[in-house]
Chain A
Amino acid sequence: NAGVMQNPRHLVRRRGQEARLRCSPMKGHSHVYWYRQLPEEGLKFMVYLQKENIIDESGMPKERFSAEFPKEGPSILRIQQVVRGDSAAYFCASSARDREGEQYFGPGTRLTVT
């Protein structure tokens, strides 16, 4: 009964490269949420997705960031042309369709931009 899985756990990218972060929700969960945690801060909501749909992207930066949750496979958070300010921990959470109030978090991906 695996929990939310994220990979990679650590990712190092040079400025200008692309970062791809993957999230596999808990079994039976169809809702995925991405949050970002900057050093010494709380988590900030980025985007909420259901299969093949973006439901709420009010927390996503307007440029360089995109997210998808395809019919098959994990959810992907993609950051193009990374900058130093993108260095953070990116957490994915999932919930069941009728239990949006219960979000379970993955271990996070720690992105370092050099």
Chain B
Amino acid sequence: GEDVEQSLFLSVREGDSSVINCTYTDSSSTYLYWYKQEPGAGLQLLTYIFSNMDMKQDQRLTVLLNKKDKHLSLRIADTQTGDSAIYFCALKTGTASKLTFGTGTRLQVTL
């Protein structure tokens, strides 16, 4: 089955950029997502990218996809304390409707 890996923890200073990384094994992924989960809350869809794209920018968020290396990243510019949360990458593969999630990266923003 699909394997999706993320580092567990990232700490950045307020105002710096954050880069959260995700690697995966299945090259037939069609949609690749980033979700944000705040403590005790559900998942908020932040952004997603189609597998035929290399980059997508949406305000402070930039998603980069390297299909050759099966690597997805989320860059948050000018990171704020409100960005502190767990970030999950997720994939939709082939014709399946289900999403496969990574283990999540906890982003801590310090003053």
Contact = CB atoms under 8 A, between A and B. Distances in A.
Interface of A: 4, 31, 33, 35, 41-45, 48, 55-56, 58-59, 91, 93, 95, 100-108
B98 A59 contact: yes
Contacts, number: 58
A108 B42 contact: yes
B92 A107 contact: no
Interface stretch (B11-19, B56-64, B77-85, B100-108): B100-108
Interface size class of B (residues with CB under 8 A): 20 to 34
Q: Is the interface of B mostly helix, strand, loop or mixed?
A: strand
Interface of B: 4, 30-31, 35, 41-45, 48, 88, 90, 92, 96-104
B89 to A, nearest CB: 9
A63 B43 CA distance: 28
Contact of B104 (A42, A55, A103, A106): A42
